[in-house]
Amino acid sequence: MKALLISTYELGHQPLHVASPAAVLRSDGHEVRAGDLAVDPIDWNDVEWADAVAISVPMHTAMRLAIDVAGRIKARFPDKPVCLYGLYAGMSQAATLGTVADRIIVGEYETALASWANSLDSGVSSDLIKSTFLLPARDLLPPLDRYAKLESAGHERIVGYVEASHGCRHRCGHCPIPAIYDGLFRVVGADVVLEDIAQLVGMGAEHITFGDPDFFNGPHHAMRILEEAHRQFPDLTFDITVKVEHILKHRTLWDRVSAAGVVFAVSAFESMNNDVLAILDKGHDREDMAEAVAIMRSVGIDIRPSWLPFTPWTTAEDVVEMFRFVAEYDLPTDPIQFTIKLLIPEGSVLLKRPELAPYLGAYDHDRLTYEWAAMDPRADKLVVRYSEHVDHSTRSNVDPSDLIRDLFAMALEAAELPPESLEIGSFEGRPRLTEPWFC
């Protein structure tokens, strides 16, 4: 069979969730082509060539884009089998299955995709089978220099992206992963990950992002891969994503992580309100966040927090406290992080929380999320102002530090607090990816 695999968006990196299943399909004897719509327009000649099309949807934005793409494919080729696969594939099944998609595969998808390529069956499946992963077929994808770079000390480095595990052992309420994996995770063989890192270095990578939902899902597995990659390629640098509670729990490992070349870690701080953190089942509080910063700073690893400023339980005062915390601990934060509003997709574990019921509205099939209103109307108004202001300021190349000060002033105004200065310096020179989204 001739299969076309399409990615719509993977956070600015070369799409692993196309390269990995492409290798499995090839090994089964299928002809495979691939496209990444984040960097190239859709190639309709490839669509016409293919016997079937599969679209990767590892995240919310990718799913929204994929529904549009699948609809356009079906409009031109009504009989072309189309599959949506990945973490978000099961969202809004009523609006996708039988209309823009014939097949939906959720969870671990390599084996199921190979089976679909042989049968072209229809329907929905969700499987967490322990798969055997192959070396990703990155030769099908655009070169690494077309994707996000690492910026550090005024220089840019080409970035590769790998995952040492899928899923997550935790059940954070705002995260889509628990709805599928329910506390399980699956490791990718260390030999495959290391071979992929070597492949990426051969393609020009100077820095590697470990995109695991949590790098310390399996600490021994992660450390084995990281330290061996550092041994083989001592000039490589790395970034990881890790929970606050894992920073504290595994504090004795961080000197080794730093010595192996990790220059920054993304950690989901989310909120300054301990009640909100408890509802989200984050497993940490604001004091833990401060301790995590101190631990990582002591070994020379920069923390780049991700935030969820706007939830149904957020107050305007919570937003003010977030800015004060960022300034006090000198936390490099991209302005877009201050605009994030909670998404509640179908199947979200938050739907089981009684605290949500008073604020929950109808499901929006276009936005793939339940609507909700904040208990503090000031917060609802503030998030709208933030989105508009950040979008305008980014387009106008406003200095990020100045933009953060503007947002802080708006938060003070919303909270009806007197003006105050925000002592925040420039984040220039500190390691960051040029694509500011983390999840």
- 134 in any annotated domain: no
Residue 139 CB: number of other CB atoms within 10 A?
11
Which of 68, 95, 127 corresponds to the end of one domain? 127
135 burial type by CB count under 10 A (0-12 exposed, 13-18 middle, 19+ buried): middle
| pLDDT score recorded for residue 92 | 80
pTM of the model: 0.96
136 found inside a domain: no
How much is the average pLDDT of 194-207? 98
Give a yes or no: residue 133 inside a domain. no
Residues 51 and 196 both lie in one domain = no
Q: Are 87 and 105 in contact (CB under 8 A)?
A: no
Q: Which of 75, 101, 127 is the last residue of a domain?
A: 127
62-87 pLDDT, tens per residue? 999 999 999 999 999 999 999 999 99
Shared domain for 119 and 248, answered yes or no, is: no
Residues 203 and 55 in one domain: no
Predicted confidence (pLDDT) per residue in 111-152, tens digit: 999 999 999 999 998 888 777 799 999 999 999 999 999 999
Say whether both 260 and 370 belong to one domain. yes
Residue 211: pLDDT over 80 = yes
Residues 338 and 415 in one domain: yes
Residues 6+ apart with CB under 8 A from 227: 256, 260
* Average of per-residue pLDDT across 255-264: 98
Helix, strand and coil percent figures for the chain, each rounded to 5? 40, 20, 40
Segment 274-317, tens digit of pLDDT? 999 999 999 999 999 999 999 999 999 999 999 999 999 999 99
Q: Are 400 and 427 in contact (CB under 8 A)?
A: yes
Residue 95 has pLDDT above 80, yes or no: no
In a domain, 305, yes or no: yes
Interatomic CA distance for residues 77 and 47, integer angstroms: 9
Q: Phi, psi (5° rounding) for residue 195?
A: -65, -35
- Domain harbouring 169, CATH code: 3.80.30.20
CATH number for position 14: 3.40.50.280
**Phi, psi of 344, deg, nearest 5:** -125, 85
Task: Quote the pLDDT of residue 439.
Answer: 58
**Residue 436 predicted with pLDDT over 80:** no
Tell me the percentage of the chain whose pLDDT exceeds 70.
100
User: By residue range, what is the domain housing residue 355?
Assistant: 144-433
Burial bucket for residue 277 (CB in 10 Å: 0-12, 13-18, 19+): buried
